[in-house]
Structure 1
Amino acid sequence: MPPSVGSSRTTTASTAGTETYLHHKHAHNHHQRHHISLSSSLSAPGGAIVSGVPGALGSGKSHLLANSSARSFVQVKLPHERQELELVDVWATLIPARIASSVISHIRQELPNDPHSLLHLRRLVKETDLNQQDGVHKTSEHVFLHLLICSIDAVPSEDEIRRTLQPMTELAAAKINDRRLFVPVIRKAPKYPALTKQLSKEWSIGTWPIMWRGNPNAIISELPSEDELLYRKNIENLLQLTEKARNDGEIPIATLIVDPITCETVASAVDTRNSSNNPLAHSTMACIAKVADNERLRRQCEVATRDGTTEQLPQAYLCHNLQLITTHEPCAMCSMAMVHSRISRLVYIKNMPRSGGIDRSSGAGYGIHWSKQLNWRFEAWKWEGQDILLYDIGEAINA
């Protein structure tokens, strides 16, 4: 019988049973089924703790799916410093609008790679956008625009910027007489992209404007209803997997990887640290490994049907655009595995305050899903709906 579902909101986590599996991994009959909020609970046969809601035992699936219209997931937001405006100094100059494309092409070839990603900023800015009285200068003949050149960290020397711009002055008509043309000036610009369109507008006031075209990694207030329903159904599968894992003497942590387009489960796995005696045999790692095995077999089959051709198959990141659903907040190792395999979204049920690698209040506060030191980011969502009964594994265990 899979763990059941209560009715109160998930708010706290019990610390009872910490490291139970580390010291008594074979005595699984003594483990408790852990209700995330124990404010109203009843003892049940088999050492389970269940919600004090009539009909909760044995009816987890009906409880989850019957309330599918309610929003039950919240996004694990970015680290705090990425929600505040942080500025960087940039070089800018005034150029004739008619040669803007030539100037941009020239500086891209001449200047070194910028240590800051400025792709979220507008390259060319009008007077109204910059909110500067010395911004765009328009006469009956000419239109001037402000151009973002690069950050000061990329080119600290003003003389070097002037030398780079010098060839461009020859493209300007001789009759244009404006002393501000091609003179580098320092401006303040938002260092990071804004999370929302409204925040983008606020950060652009008095600074170099942000170009908002819809941020695919922006925080959204809620999941689409079809995603909610998909994850609720998959949580039911996770609960059944944890039940089987416990009965087999394993740590009851389970993971699924799903294709959001087809809604099919690509791989599933449970934690096998106990039976394998391998401390790295986490369910997330095993699930990603299964995706790798499936991909290897697919490529072998495809090569075998190509009539002996040796043409290389296209290489892609292992889990690109796939989503991972798991019972517990992944540890730092599993979170990094999701980065390397390019998981697009993580969904989990229970925070792991002492060992998690996602929530900024968990573990060492890594927030790996949106670390500015890494080259991939993914969404992270956690369950915040009805209480779900999970077996207590102890907060110190790396999930």
Structure 2
Amino acid sequence: MDYYEGNGEAGLDLDIKEPHQFRGVAPNPLIDDLRAQDLPRGVLIPLKTTQEVRQDHSIVQAYITRVPTKSANDVITLLRDMCPDGNANTLPHLRRCAKPSDLPAHLKTQLMNDTPVGRQIHTAKSTWIYIIVGEAKDFDQEELIELLSGVDGIEKEPFISLIPVPLLAPTSQVQAAMWSSQFWPTVYRKNNPLGPHPGMVARGTEDIKHDTAIWMALAHRVALQAKEAGIGEAMGAVIVQRGENGTELVGLAGDARHHQGGALIMGGNNPMSHCVLRAISMVAQKLVRYERLATEQLTEYADLDFDAFQDTPLIELERECFNQEHPNRDGYLCHGLELYVTHEPCVACSMGVLHSRMGKAVFCNHMPRSGGLSSDDRPDGGGRGLGLFWRRELNWSLLAWEWERDGVPDLPPVDPTTHV
């Protein structure tokens, strides 16, 4: 039984010489029939980091002042000297200076109506400019007023006001425009302080979008074969390498939590026999096999009454893939490789993905109660997602997507609390 049925419009980049071949996918008997189909392309949705989900709306109080335009440089120098690290702008995503006409409407109205001087500044051709000082917590107001009053051209009682501003930089041009109208003129610098650079995500999406459907279809095939063989749940993982020779299959595995009575021995959830860890282990075994052959060492497998790892091929698809040689026998384990998995990996498998140094990960079915890659809050008060694909405190990060497919049938359902 194939995962895909029917013949939907793929919208893929096809090779003109071979009308139904996905460009860049290396031939392999395990996927050649999939390469010849117009598979539904689906949509790749980049995962958000924990910071993007929870901290992109942090608001702090900041001081602003206004000075004659000719005195602006003197004031900025003064502010730089007040900062212990010499940073002239502690909120670099906010414009340091703003003309009265550039302020958001609500702020302009407030400052215009505060004093007669404010009305004059905002109703005539202004020779004044507003300057954002920085976060209020970083400055002593009395000291600030005293220093500003010593600058030529500034009023004896310098203008100081507190306004709310976003603490972190915007992650898109749209967000920058919104903040400019709500808080203070904001700059989008085409980066993402909360996660992977937008350009990196865009390039990664472009790299994988043309053949994601192939690898996900293969993952569903091995998932169904594992379920039908009775060794595990309908879950599957595929590992590929993208390089100069195209995208090549490296490893695949189905779930094997029920094999050898694993469901009873390990309480029904042995993470070592989940499809992701099994696939990673089979890639490792390919590398070890090559090294031993190169040094004329024998490859031996232990005959165990119970194998907790279940990382030897158990079904036909696994055996066929395992017998193929690794396309690149150099480098560390899964460094830079790509993982395609039917369901979002659990915390244990997500950490295995990180430790194996995977470069990209794509899953088809979000597991909000048990998944480890996503950052979204879990339902029913289940806590927050860990977002393990990109966390600053970990020594590795990768790009990750959820793949929403269109017009293809679902796998047999699993309990939403199941760990994959």
Instruction: Report the TM range for the smaller structure's normalisation.
Output: 0.5 to 0.7
Task: Please point out which of 91, 94, 110 is paired with 2:63.
Answer: 91
Matched, 1:234 2:215: yes
Aligned pair in 2 of structure 1 residues 166, 187: CA closer, same or farther (>3 Å)?
same
Q: Which structure is higher in strand share? A: 1
Check the 8 A contact 2:350/2:389 in 1, yes or no: no
How far did residue 186 of structure 1 move? Answer: 1.7
Pairwise mapping of residues 1-399 of structure 1 onto structure 2 (< 5 A)?
3-6=2-5, 62=34, 65-67=37-39, 70-74=41-45, 87-94=59-66, 96-99=71-74, 102-103=77-78, 105-110=80-85, 121-122=93-94, 124-127=96-99, 128-131=101-104, 144=129, 146-150=131-135, 152=136, 154-155=137-138, 160=140, 162-163=142-143, 175-179=152-156, 185-216=161-192, 227-243=208-224, 245-246=226-227, 247=229, 249-258=231-240, 263=247, 268-274=252-258, 279-281=270-272, 282-285=274-277, 323-335=338-350, 346-352=361-367, 354-357=369-372, 358=374, 360=377, 364=382, 366-369=384-387, 379-399=400-420
Aligned equivalents of 2:387, 2:414: Cα separation in 1 = 23
Aligned pair in 2 of structure 1 residues 384, 244: CA closer, same or farther (>3 Å)?
closer
Aligned equivalents of 1:287, 1:99: Cα separation in 2 = 63
Aligned pair in 2 of structure 1 residues 214, 241: CA closer, same or farther (>3 Å)?
same
Check the 8 A contact 1:267/1:290 in 2, yes or no: yes
Aligned equivalents of 2:60, 2:242: Cα separation in 1 = 38
Check the 8 A contact 1:330/1:356 in 2, yes or no: yes
Which is worse superposed, 88-97 or 263-272? Answer: 263-272
How far did residue 212 of structure 1 move? Answer: 0.9
Aligned to 2:363, what secondary structure does the other structure show?
strand
Aligned equivalents of 1:97, 1:259: Cα separation in 2 = 55
Aligned pair in 2 of structure 1 residues 177, 111: CA closer, same or farther (>3 Å)?
closer
Question: Normalization by structure 2: what TM-score?
Answer: 0.53
Aligned pair in 2 of structure 1 residues 101, 89: CA closer, same or farther (>3 Å)?
closer
Percent identical among aligned pairs is: 18
Aligned pair in 2 of structure 1 residues 226, 143: CA closer, same or farther (>3 Å)?
same
Aligned to 2:419, what secondary structure does the other structure show?
coil
Check the 8 A contact 1:335/1:369 in 2, yes or no: no
Check the 8 A contact 1:73/1:222 in 2, yes or no: no
Larger radius of gyration: 2
Q: How many residues align?
A: 317
Check the 8 A contact 2:339/2:362 in 1, yes or no: yes
The residue identity in structure 1 corresponding to 2:371 is: G
Aligned equivalents of 1:370, 1:214: Cα separation in 2 = 24
Aligned equivalents of 1:124, 1:294: Cα separation in 2 = 57
Query: In the alignment, which residue of structure 1 is the partner of 2:13?
Result: none
How far did residue 91 of structure 1 move? Answer: 3.2
The residue identity in structure 2 corresponding to 1:355 is: S
Aligned pair in 2 of structure 1 residues 272, 103: CA closer, same or farther (>3 Å)?
farther
Question: Where does structure 1 lack aligned partners over 5 or more consecutive residues?
Answer: 10-57, 298-316
Aligned equivalents of 2:257, 2:156: Cα separation in 1 = 71
Aligned equivalents of 2:336, 2:96: Cα separation in 1 = 33
How far did residue 149 of structure 1 move? Answer: 1.7
Aligned equivalents of 1:396, 1:64: Cα separation in 2 = 36
Aligned to 2:408, what secondary structure does the other structure show?
strand
Aligned pair in 2 of structure 1 residues 379, 250: CA closer, same or farther (>3 Å)?
closer
Aligned pair in 2 of structure 1 residues 191, 240: CA closer, same or farther (>3 Å)?
same
Higher relative contact order (CA 8 A, sep 6+): 1
Question: Normalization by structure 1: what TM-score?
Answer: 0.56
Check the 8 A contact 2:231/2:255 in 1, yes or no: no
